[in-house]
Amino acid sequence: MHITGAGILLIFAFLATASMLLLLHLTQIGVLVHQRIPDRPRRRLFLAAVSFFITFVGVRLLVMSITHHVGPFGWVEIDGRHIHHLVWGILLLLIVGYCTLAEVGTGHSPISIFFSRLLSILYGVGAALTLDEFALWLNLQDVYWARQGRESIDAVILFGALLAAGAWGAPLFSPSRKDD
């Protein structure tokens, strides 16, 4: 049986997202995150950062498996055209952006908190899928494993650092207090 890369990505993203949401909702991890990171925007950044790094590692492993013919995985092709995973990332980012503009997940009800968490996780997934192929944007050719592919790794590190800095403190991003 031949499973496309998109199928594996979809299954991986769904399982990772569902796992993170279940952990946050059904275990003490959600309470711990809420207590340790009392600021809602920083909690959202934290979830985005975690899902970003998990997705990046998962995608790299999947692409390596496809490239080296390990497992039943294969490229997504439509009419002989390879559909890169940045396409799925861009679509996710568009959906999350639209939901954010529509203020989905901004209330305080349990369903609103659920959507807030879901959108944060999906943002991290979409950003990882997109930035993992940053070198393709830049060079307009598939250089994933070539030397120019390092540009994608650099973009992932820079954006991941920004997400992490926003989530874990970053006094640069918070209003300054004046000592009286």
Q: Cα(114)–Cα(35) distance, rounded to whole angstroms? A: 17
Assigned domain for 20 exists: yes
Q: Cα(171)–Cα(79) distance, rounded to whole angstroms? A: 50
The yes-or-no verdict on residue 151 having pLDDT over 50 is yes
Q: Show the domain range for 120.
A: 3-169
Assigned domain for 175 exists: no
Average pLDDT over residues 140-165: 75
Kindly report, residue by residue over 32-45, the tens digit of the pLDDT: 777 777 777 888 88
What is the number of structural domains in the chain? 1
pLDDT computed for residue 44 by the predictor:
87
DSSP, collapsed to helix, strand or coil, labels residue 74 as: strand
Please tell me the least confidently modeled range out of 35-44, 96-105, 128-137. 35-44
**What's the one-letter identity of residue 15?**
L
Assigned domain for 155 exists: yes
- Entry pTM: 0.75
Assigned domain for 178 exists: no
101: exposed, middle or buried (Cβ count in 10 Å: 0-12, 13-18, 19+)? exposed
Average pLDDT over residues 143-167: 76
